[in-house]
Amino acid sequence: MLIVFPGQGSQKIGMGKDLYDAFYSAKEVFHEVDDALSFGLSNLIFNGTEEELKATKNAQPALLAAAMAFVRVLEKEFGICAAEIAAFLAGHSLGEYTALCADGVISLSDAAKILRTRGSAMARAFPVGGAMAAVIGLEPKIVERIASECSSEKEKARVANDNSAEQTVISGHEGAVKKAADEALAFGAKRAIFLEVSGPFHCDLMQSAAVEMAEVLRDTKFRRPIKPVISNVTAKAEAGDFKRLLVRQITERVRWRESILFAAASSVSVCVEIGPGRVLTGLVKRISPHLQTINVNSVESLEEFARLRNKG
Q: Which domains does the chain have, with CATH numbers?
A: 2-125+205-311 (3.40.366.10), 130-197 (3.30.70.250)
Low-confidence ranges of the chain (pLDDT < 70): 312
Beta partners for 273? Answer: 4, 295
Contact 230, 280 (CB under 8 A): no
> Nearest CA to 189 among 254, 133, 129?
133
What positions carry a catalytic annotation? 93, 202
Alpha-helix runs per DSSP H in the chain: 17-22, 24-37, 41-47, 50-54, 56-78, 82-85, 95-102, 108-125, 140-149, 174-187, 207-218, 242-251, 256-265, 279-287, 299-311
Element (H, E) at 3: strand 2-5
Would you state the pLDDT for residue 71? Answer: 98
DSSP reduced 3-state for 286: helix
This model's pTM is above 0.85: yes
Question: pLDDT at position 196, please?
Answer: 86
> Angle between the 207-218 and 108-125 helix axes, to the nearest 10 degrees?
160
CB contact set of 22 (below 8 Å; sequence gap of 6+): 299
The CA distances from residue 152 to 155, 163, 180, in Å, are: 5, 25, 12
Cα 59 from Cα 53, distance rounded (Å)? 5
Closest CA to 12 of 278, 192, 305, 202: 278
pLDDT at position 312 is 62
Sign of the alpha-carbon dihedral angle for 263, 264, 269, 270: positive
- pLDDT tens for 264-310 read 999 999 999 999 999 999 999 999 999 999 999 999 999 999 999 98
